[in-house]
Amino acid sequence: MTGLNDPAFFDRYAHEYDERDAYEPTQTVDFLAGLVPADGRVLELAIGTGRVACPLAARGISLEGIDGSPAMVEQLRAKPGGSEIPVTIGDVADVAVDGPFQMAYLVFNTLFNLPGQARQVDCFRNVATVLEPGGLFVIECFIQDVTEFDRHQRVATRTLSEDAVNMEFLLHDPVEQAVTYQRVTFDAQGTTLRPLRLRYCWPSELDLMAQLAGMRLRERHTDWDRTPFTAASRRHVSVYEKL
């Protein structure tokens, strides 16, 4: 499959993104707002439809964004306060904006949308260039459970009703640390395909990316409530600090 995760891919689903991928932002916004002063300057990578950006900006924080999908940003513009947030259309790994920022953040596993390790390293390095000394980079990522695959594949039913079924087909590439998804909806309208590829990272790998970029891990939690991170954690919120 080609074209996965490019801007045109996300343009196709912008109109339904908030509805299909519910993300309750309150705890995220509370966590992020607590890391910077009320007048702090903050950058969101992959700002998308503004699910986190709009409520964070409503707290008086000066917020800017980057996103590769104009259609996603159109959804942001339609929300209260969304039209007031400056957004640069571009690749989140390039971070083509002018700093300095006190904080940058990238949530909802979106770092893994970047196609490979090299571009993920680029993202860390370019974020560091726009952070002020002591500035923070906050990321939210899942931890891939490789035991969920049988012969590097998995099929799962996500939702089932009398009128429709949503299924998920996955292939795991342990060498590339990549999972290719095909999320399929069967309903009265026919068949809808929503492909996706994620290149996952282990927390230790992310820590090394940060070190290469001149940052260090300041804190790591299982979630936005600061639940302690343990070997049993299936996700993490990590805060890196520019040296």
Domains of the chain (ranges, CATH numbers): 7-143+201-242 (3.40.50.150), 146-198 (2.20.25.570)
As a whole number, mean pLDDT of residues 161-176 equals: 95
As a whole number, mean pLDDT of residues 50-77 equals: 94
Q: Flag the least confident range among 9-13, 145-149, 183-187, 210-214.
A: 9-13
Order of all β-strands in the sheet with 178-187: 153-160, 165-173, 178-187, 190-199
Average pLDDT, the chain: 93
pLDDT value at residue 23: 73
Distance in angstroms between the alpha carbons of the first and the last residue of the chain: 40
List, as one string, the DSSP characters of 75-106: HHHTSTTGGGS-EEES-TTT--S---EEEEEE
- pLDDT band of 1, cuts 50, 70, 90: very low
Output 10 or 189, whichever has higher pLDDT: 189
